[in-house]
Amino acid sequence: MNDFNFYSPTRFVFGRGACDRTGETLAAQGWKRVLVVYGQGSVVRTGTLERVLSSLDAAGIAHAELGGVRPNPEVALVREGIAEARSESVDAVVAVGGGSVIDTAKAIALGVPYEDDVWDFFCKRATATRALPVAAVLTIPASGSEASDSCVISNDELGMKCGVNTDLNRPAVAIMDPELTFTLPAYQTAAGITDMISHVMERFFSGQPSVPVTDYIACGLIRAAMEAAPRVMEDPRDYDARASLMWVGTLAHNGLAGCGLNVPGARDGDWTCHGMEHELSALDTSITHGAGLAVVFPAWMRYVWGEHPERFLTFAEEVFGIEPVDPEVDDLSGIDEDITPERAAADAVEAAIDELQDFFVSLGMPRTLGELGITEGDIDRLLEGLKVTRGERFGTFATLTLEDARAIYTSAL
Ligand code: NZQ
Ligand code: ZN
Closest CA to ligand 1's atom 40? 143
- The three-state secondary structure class of 13 is strand
Closest CA to 174 of 382, 8, 63, 393: 8
Please tell me if the CB atom of residue 253 comes closer than 6 angstroms to any atom of ligand 1.
yes
Is the confidence at residue 336, as pLDDT, over 70?
no
Mean pLDDT of 254-266: 92
229-243, 317-331, 333-347, 397-411: which has the minimum mean pLDDT? 333-347
The total number of residues written for the chain in this structure: 413
> Radius of gyration over alpha carbons of the chain, in Å?
21
Q: What is the pLDDT of residue 292?
A: 98
C-alpha–C-alpha distance, residues 330 and 338, integer Å? 13
Q: Which ligand is nearest to the CA of 278?
A: 1
Centre of ligand 1 from the C-alpha of residue 15, in Å: 20
Mean pLDDT of 229-237: 98
Please tell me if the CB atom of residue 136 comes closer than 6 angstroms to any atom of ligand 1.
no
Please tell me if the CB atom of residue 242 comes closer than 6 angstroms to any atom of ligand 1.
no
34 DSSP β-pair partners: 63, 92
Please tell me if the CB atom of residue 99 comes closer than 6 angstroms to any atom of ligand 1.
yes
Q: What is the DSSP letter of 171?
A: -
Is the confidence at residue 149, as pLDDT, over 80?
yes
Q: Of all atoms in ligand 1, which is nearest to the CA of residue 151?
A: 44
How does pLDDT run across 117-141, given as a tens digit for each residue?
A: 999 999 999 999 999 999 999 999 9
Element (H, E) at 62: strand 62-66
Centre of ligand 1 from the C-alpha of residue 145, in Å: 9
Beta strands in 129-197 (DSSP E): 134-138, 150-155, 160-165, 173-176
Q: What is the pLDDT of residue 266?
A: 79
| pLDDT interval class at 146 (50, 70, 90) | very high
**Mean residue pLDDT across the chain:** 96
Q: What is the pLDDT of residue 267?
A: 81
With the most atoms of ligand 1 within 8 angstroms of its CB, the residue from 271, 277, 289, 365 to mutate is 289
With the most atoms of ligand 1 within 8 angstroms of its CB, the residue from 134, 145, 297 to mutate is 145
151 DSSP β-pair partners: 164
C-alpha–C-alpha distance, residues 259 and 200, integer Å? 11
15-29, 207-221, 264-278, 332-346: which has the minimum mean pLDDT? 332-346
Classify strands 150-155 and 160-165 as parallel, antiparallel or unpaired.
antiparallel
CA triple 330-334-335, angle to 5 deg: 75
Centre of ligand 2 from the C-alpha of residue 199, in Å: 6
Q: What is the pLDDT of residue 338?
A: 77
Q: Look at the pTM and tell me if it is higher than 0.95.
A: yes
- The three-state secondary structure class of 177 is coil
Closest CA to 69 of 97, 106, 35: 97
Encoded amino acid at 321, one letter: G
Percentage of residues in the chain with pLDDT exceeding 70? 99
C-alpha–C-alpha distance, residues 224 and 4, integer Å? 25
C-alpha–C-alpha distance, residues 262 and 204, integer Å? 9
Q: What is the pLDDT of residue 77?
A: 98
Centre of ligand 2 from the C-alpha of residue 409, in Å: 18
How does pLDDT run across 49-90, given as a tens digit for each residue?
A: 999 999 999 999 999 999 999 999 999 999 999 999 999 999
C-alpha–C-alpha distance, residues 50 and 119, integer Å? 32
Dihedral sign for Cα atoms in the order 175, 365, 399, 225 = positive
Mean pLDDT of 232-241: 98
With the most atoms of ligand 1 within 8 angstroms of its CB, the residue from 40, 108, 143, 274 to mutate is 143
Is the confidence at residue 272, as pLDDT, over 70?
yes
Is-contact 136 175, C-beta < 8 A? yes
Centre of ligand 2 from the C-alpha of residue 287, in Å: 13
Please tell me if the CB atom of residue 285 comes closer than 6 angstroms to any atom of ligand 1.
no
Is the confidence at residue 322, as pLDDT, over 90?
yes
Centre of ligand 2 from the C-alpha of residue 105, in Å: 17
Closest CA to 312 of 276, 354, 273, 274: 354
With the most atoms of ligand 1 within 8 angstroms of its CB, the residue from 44, 50, 103, 267 to mutate is 103
Per DSSP, the residues of 236-257 read TT-HHHHHHHHHHHHHTTSSGG
Q: What is the pLDDT of residue 330?
A: 79
Please tell me if the CB atom of residue 153 comes closer than 6 angstroms to any atom of ligand 1.
no
Q: Which ligand is nearest to the CA of 294?
A: 2
Please tell me if the CB atom of residue 189 comes closer than 6 angstroms to any atom of ligand 1.
no
Centre of ligand 1 from the C-alpha of residue 143, in Å: 7
1-5, 40-44, 56-60, 333-337: which has the minimum mean pLDDT? 333-337
Is the confidence at residue 400, as pLDDT, over 90?
yes
75-81's contacts with Cβ under 8 Å and 24+ in sequence apart are 75/107, 75/118, 75/119, 75/122, 75/153, 75/154, 75/155, 76/156, 77/104, 78/104, 78/107, 78/108, 78/111, 78/118, 78/153, 79/111, 79/117, 79/118, 81/35, 81/37, 81/105, 81/107, 81/108, 81/111
| Angle, in degrees to the nearest 10, between helices 341-362 and 212-234 | 40
154 DSSP β-pair partners: 74, 161
Mean pLDDT of 20-38: 98
Q: Which residues does 28 contact at the CB level (< 8 Å), separation at least 6?
A: none
Centre of ligand 1 from the C-alpha of residue 2, in Å: 32
